[in-house]
């Protein structure tokens, strides 16, 4: 059994840890509120743009840019997978789950490209960057620090790189894996094809796309609309992941604080029992000594 000094040291250590987890929970809660506000405001806008892009995929076939971004290559030789994680840990299984989902998609769909060295990872977040670099993947290392200054302007640069790489034929398909924010305790893993653009309405068997009436040259309008819509789609995915990260960290730190409280109860009980046992032993020794002296 541990002595009183050891137990007291453990109690002090757990107390210190509990204070840290409490502080981290409060910081995560503060960041979550801001991130949640951003994604709640962004979703309707992004969803409407997705609808427009889906409809555009079914109409205006003469628009060159639409054909460029919607071109499904006959043979997929090279693939880029964007994996969105966080810069820091202590957020439960948030990072691990995203990486596992990406790896599973790679093994299921792109095993041949991986074996041929034609699979590339574009990590968003230091955790994904460190993992894929360590495990010998081809890594685009220019944008993994995006989360340190997350804005539409910075996300647009990444989206422009993805679009340019696809048009130039550097990659035949670009996928993105990220966590979608549902609530503080729940994140939904998403894996989507970013390019080529595929109409989700067509995939899900919905009604035919709207035949838009254009007041101006469709090519001029859609050449601006399609790239912007793709940038909005990418920015939304990163915002979803950012909100999910703070939610996961808040939940993890809340659980860690509760576990520390339970451990403190056990340690205090153990401390009191050990202290009581020591006092009892001392009393018995004093009594035995007094009895021996009286008998002597």
Residues recognised as catalytic: 91
| Cβ partners under 8 Å of residue 78, min gap 6 | 113, 118, 119, 120, 170, 171, 172
Query: Are 132 and 92 spatial neighbours (Cβ–Cβ below 8 Å)?
Result: no
DSSP assignment string, 3-42: -HHHHHHHHHHHHHHHHHHHHHHHHHHHHHHHHHHHHHHH
Report the alpha-carbon distance of residue 245 to residue 184 in Å, rounded: 9
What whole-number distance in Å separates Cα of residue 211 and Cα of residue 216?
A: 15
Q: Which residue has the tokens 């541990």?
A: 2
C-beta of residue 94 within 8 angstroms of C-beta of residue 86: yes
What values do phi and psi take at 83, rounded to 5?
A: -115, 120
């Amino acid at each position: 059994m541990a002595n009183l000094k050891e137990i007291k040291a453990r109690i002090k250590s757990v107390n210190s840890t509990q204070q840290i987890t409490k502080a981290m929970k409060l910081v995560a809660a503060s960041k979550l509120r801001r991130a949640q506000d951003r994604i709640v405001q962004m979703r309707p806008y992004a969803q409407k743009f997705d609808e427009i892009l889906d409809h555009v995929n079914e109409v205006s076939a003469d628009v060159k840019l639409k054909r460029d971004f919607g071109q499904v290559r006959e043979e997929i030789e090279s693939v880029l997978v964007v994996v969105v994680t966080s810069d820091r840990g202590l957020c439960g299984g948030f990072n691990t789950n995203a990486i596992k989902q990406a790896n599973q998609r790679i093994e299921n769909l792109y095993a041949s490209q991986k074996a041929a060295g034609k699979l590339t990872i574009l990590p968003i977040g230091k955790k994904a960057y460190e993992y894929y670099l360590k495990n010998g993947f081809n890594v685009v290392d220019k944008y993994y620090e995006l989360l340190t200054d997350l804005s539409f302007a910075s996300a647009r640069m990444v989206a422009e790189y993805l679009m340019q790489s696809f048009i130039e034929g550097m990659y035949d398909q670009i996928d993105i894996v990220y966590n979608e924010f549902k609530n503080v305790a729940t994140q939904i893993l998403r894996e989507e094809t970013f390019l080529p653009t595929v109409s989700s309405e067509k995939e899900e068997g919905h009604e035919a796309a709207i035949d838009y009436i254009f007041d101006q040259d469709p090519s001029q309008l859609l050449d601006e609309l399609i790239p912007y819509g793709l940038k909005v789609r990418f920015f939304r995915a990163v915002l979803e992941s950012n909100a999910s990260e703070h939610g996961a960290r808040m939940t993890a730190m809340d659980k860690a604080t509760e576990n520390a409280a339970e451990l403190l109860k056990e340690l205090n009980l153990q401390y009191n029992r050990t202290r009581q046992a020591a006092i009892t032993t001392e009393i018995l020794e004093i009594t035995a000594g007094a009895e021996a002296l009286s008998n002597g």
